[in-house]
Amino acid sequence: MLKQLWLWLGRLLGKLLLLLLAIGLGGWGIGAAYYSWKFSGPVPTKEQIPPDEAALTQSIIEDAVRIVEQHRDNTRVLRDAHAKAHGCVRAEVTVLPDLDSDLRHGVFSEPGKTWQAWMRLSNGNAYPQFDRARDARGMAIKLMDVPGEKLISNTAHSTEQDFVMFNHPAFFVRDVAEYKSNFAAQADGKKVLAFFPSWNPRSWELRHLVIALKTLAPAPESPVATTYNSIAPFKLGPHNIKYRVIPSPENCPSYTLPEANTDMPNFLRSALYRQLSLDRVPACFTLQIQRQNPSYHMPIEDPSIEWDESISPYETVANIQLPAQDFDSSEQNLFCDNLSFNPWHALPEHRPIGGINRLRKTVYEAVSVYRHERNRENASE
Ligand code: HEM
């Protein structure tokens, strides 16, 4: 009797497992079919600006300034994002000597030319935390003494060309409207719920939640050991492109970083200091671009979509070297804090495009001006 009951239970469990497997496979198949239908080309090659974007942008600025004030560190007002720096280092960006003539635009016009630059390496969080916390890692590069009229006519930045990236290839929202609702929910302490704005399942952003969770990744062993992506698209002369900066240790003397104690709060700064300042070994990267192929789903207005590398591979346009150097002094750290990076500090040939980039234009400027003014006031008190 007992044996029969066990056999019956076993059969039932087996059938239940098979049913679950069938439901899982069916769901996966439907999901895959839905996404390949939803995310298929062709896509526009020009920007499409929604009518309510300017109003939404204004209210995002107000939220951002509130967050900056919440996270004041002692008396200094920090950045609203990427508040913690691992250091600002001097960099040399050299345009590929045999660069394809089709890609010679803006700062890449002259093959072989070397630009002097500043590079700020950071954690993504709005306030400084231990480096071992899961987070995005940022890289911002500022080329100096770049001639020509810029997109923002601000004399303080009139000779600069900036590239601003972090180390995940996709953004966790598609546009300004979603950014507004997600940011507001996050500011109210809702983390996961920010991706489920209502009871209506059609408003749920599961794919974006997965991107956000993947973006908050464990730290690399060093800030020079990870790939940084523009995520949002840009112009490069007539082309629509994304760009990225990828480590190229093969272009530098070989170096093995000694094992670090990742329980130390600032081990990423220590790794940079160890390589560049103590061991005096330079670090190398390459700067690469990926062209939009509008026959496929490579949209301009949705940076949550990665452009498929098998359709449009990245092409190297420049080499970057961080020479051996001393960078970790209090003067240089303060200088670093006071720098402002903005993708709109740019020549028209490198114009940022797409909704998230249009939003960044206004927000970066507003937050940067706000924190600089507050820091000046605090210094004179
Ligand atoms: C493609 C997507 C984005 C990337 C790759 C990115 C990357 C970065 C990086 C690396 C920094 C630090 C720059 C530095 O070292 O000074 C930064 C700063 C900042 N980001 Fe973003 N970001 C993105 C989107 C956004 C969006 C959508 C907003 C808000 C609307 C935003 C707001 C800010 C602000 C306010 C700062 C601080 C600006 C300052 O005070 O100087 N970012 N971002």
Question: Binning pLDDT at 50, 70 and 90, where does residue 63 land?
Answer: confident
What CATH fold (topology level) applies to the domain 48-380? Catalase HpII,  Chain A, domain 1 (2.40.180)
Q: What is the pTM of this model?
A: 0.92
Q: What is the pLDDT of residues 256-285, one digit of tens each?
A: 999 999 999 999 999 999 999 999 999 999
Cα 179 to ligand 1 centre (Å): 13
The answer to which of 3-7, 196-200, 325-329 has the lowest mean pLDDT is 3-7
How many angstroms separate the CA atoms of 170 and 358, rounded? 17
Higher per-residue confidence, 137 vs 378: 137
Degrees to nearest 5, angle at CA 374 with 373 and 380: 90
Question: Binning pLDDT at 50, 70 and 90, where does residue 364 land?
Answer: very high
Which residue lies with its CA nearest to atom 10 of ligand 1? Answer: 138
Q: How many helices (H) and strands (E) does the chain have?
A: 7, 9
Cα 99 to ligand 1 centre (Å): 29
Q: Collect all residues with Cβ–Cβ distance below 8 Å to 41 and sequence separation of at least 6.
A: 293, 294, 295, 296, 297, 298
Which residue lies with its CA nearest to atom 28 of ligand 1? Answer: 360
Q: Is 66 helix (H, G, I), strand (E, B) or coil?
A: helix
Kindly tell me the sign of the dihedral angle through the C-alpha atoms of 213, 366, 337, 87.
positive
The mean pLDDT of the chain is 94
- Mean pLDDT, rounded, for 331-360: 97
How many angstroms separate the CA atoms of 305 and 39, rounded? 9
How many angstroms separate the CA atoms of 75 and 15, rounded? 64
Best residue for ligand 1 mutational test, from 167, 342, 360 (most atoms within 8 Å of Cβ) = 360
Instruction: Give, for 95, the enclosing helix (H) or strand (E).
Output: strand 85-95
Single-letter code of the amino acid located at 311: I
Question: E strands along 124-263, which residues?
Answer: 137-143, 161-166, 228-229, 234-236, 239-247
Alpha-carbon distances of 92 from 85, 235, 265, 286, 340, rounded to whole Å: 20, 23, 29, 11, 19
Rg value, the chain, Cα: 23
Q: Are 286 and 95 contacting, i.e. CB atoms less than 8 angstroms apart?
A: no
Cα 81 to ligand 1 centre (Å): 6
Cα-Cα-Cα-Cα dihedral of 167, 333, 132, 268, to 10°? 70
Boundaries of every domain in the chain? 48-380
Q: Which of 169, 195, 192, 170 is nearest to 182 (CA)?
A: 195
- Mean pLDDT, rounded, for 78-106: 96
SS (H, E, C) 174-201: CCHHHHHHHHHHHHCCCCCHHHCCCCCH
How many angstroms separate the CA atoms of 354 and 175, rounded? 8
Alpha-carbon distances of 124 from 86, 99, 149, 268, rounded to whole Å: 11, 33, 30, 13
Question: Binning pLDDT at 50, 70 and 90, where does residue 189 land?
Answer: confident
Residues 276-308 as b/e (b if ≥16 CB within 10 A, e otherwise) read: bbeeebbbbbbbbbbbbbbebbbbbbbbbbbbe
Q: Collect all residues with Cβ–Cβ distance below 8 Å to 52 and sequence separation of at least 6.
A: 177
Cα 361 to ligand 1 centre (Å): 10
- Mean pLDDT, rounded, for 124-151: 97
Percent with pLDDT over 70 in the chain: 99
Predicted confidence (pLDDT) at residue 75 exceeds the cutoff of 70: no
How many angstroms separate the CA atoms of 25 and 50, rounded? 38
DSSP alpha helices (H): ranges in the chain? 2-38, 53-70, 176-187, 206-215, 267-273, 330-337, 355-380
Q: 327 CB under 6 A from ligand 1?
A: no
Q: What is the pLDDT of residues 218-232, one digit of tens each?
A: 999 999 999 999 999
Q: 81 CB under 6 A from ligand 1?
A: yes
Predicted confidence (pLDDT) at residue 74 exceeds the cutoff of 70: no
Q: Are 149 and 106 contacting, i.e. CB atoms less than 8 angstroms apart?
A: no
Alpha-carbon distances of 115 from 88, 96, 148, 236, 271, rounded to whole Å: 16, 12, 15, 17, 25
How many angstroms separate the CA atoms of 196 and 207, rounded? 11
Q: 341 CB under 6 A from ligand 1?
A: yes
Cα 264 to ligand 1 centre (Å): 26
